Amino acid sequence: MFLVITKRIMRMITVILIIMTMIFIISNYRWITKFAYPIHYRDEIQVYTKEYNIDPYLVVAIMKNESGFNPKALSSKNAKGLMQIAPITGDWASKELNIVDYNEEMLYDPDLNIKIACWYLNVLHKEFDNNLELIIAAYNGGSGNVTKWLNDPRYSDDGITLKKIPFKETENYLKKVLRDYEIYKTLYNKEVKIWDKLLLIKKFI
């Protein structure tokens, strides 16, 4: 009899602990998750996303995936800085933005790197008619490649959207950036309902 009662008490304690843990997670959802999804370089992002009419959460999601917020990041293809600006894009931007005495090492400067990235995202928005998936794919795989894929029936049925991306890296990149973009919007947008937050926890834990 005593053993049965003890087991019941232990089960009750376990259930109570689980409930308390869930309450803690829900109550501190933003505080906990923001450690995994921080926002760095807020001032620069605010200035240049406003100037070039870009969603700041998109910029943060790209930055997280491109460099992990490391301003000294350098890729195997020689892309540099927080937003991993390619040399050809940096050179193009330096002419369009009239950057005085430009050189590639300047891409390691967070302010200039974010400025160029926001300018370039604005260019992609115009080129791909604000289609978010095409913009993100073009940021990684190149706008020329995305245009080719849209004109290839193997990858697009309508010339407007992609049904398949032949570059595996770009395909995975698109999925990750879209995922993080949605997470950032949910975490930092105060108007998002608590139910949406719970669904996000269920989806990504």
Domain boundary assignment for the chain: 1-36, 38-204
What is the per-residue pLDDT for 189? Answer: 78
Percentage of residues in the chain having pLDDT higher than 90: 73
pTM exceeds 0.85, yes or no: no
What is the per-residue pLDDT for 192? Answer: 44
Rounded (10°) angle between helices 29-36 and 168-188: 150
What is the per-residue pLDDT for 16? Answer: 62
65's CB contacts (< 8 A; 6+ apart) are 173, 176, 177, 180
The per-residue pLDDT for range 107-132, each reduced to its tens digit, is 999 999 999 999 999 999 999 999 99
Q: Does the annotation mark 66 as catalytic?
A: yes
CB 159 within 8 A of CB 151: yes
60's CB contacts (< 8 A; 6+ apart) are 39, 45, 180, 184
Mean predicted lDDT score pLDDT of the chain: 86
What is the per-residue pLDDT for 175? Answer: 97
Look at 162 and 13; give whichever has higher pLDDT.
162
What is the per-residue pLDDT for 9? Answer: 67
Q: How far apart are the first and last CA of the chain?
A: 40
What is the per-residue pLDDT for 195? Answer: 41
The per-residue pLDDT for range 63-101, each reduced to its tens digit, is 999 999 999 999 999 999 999 999 999 999 999 999 999
> What distance in Å separates the CA atoms of residue 112 and residue 114, rounded to the nearest whole number?
5
The per-residue pLDDT for range 155-200, each reduced to its tens digit, is 999 999 999 999 999 999 999 999 999 999 988 876 444 445 444 4
Catalytically annotated residue among 44, 51, 66, 127: 66
Which CATH architecture describes the domain 38-204?
Orthogonal Bundle (1.10)
> What distance in Å separates the CA atoms of residue 108 and residue 71, rounded to the nearest whole number?
6
What is the per-residue pLDDT for 39? Answer: 93
CB 97 within 8 A of CB 116: yes
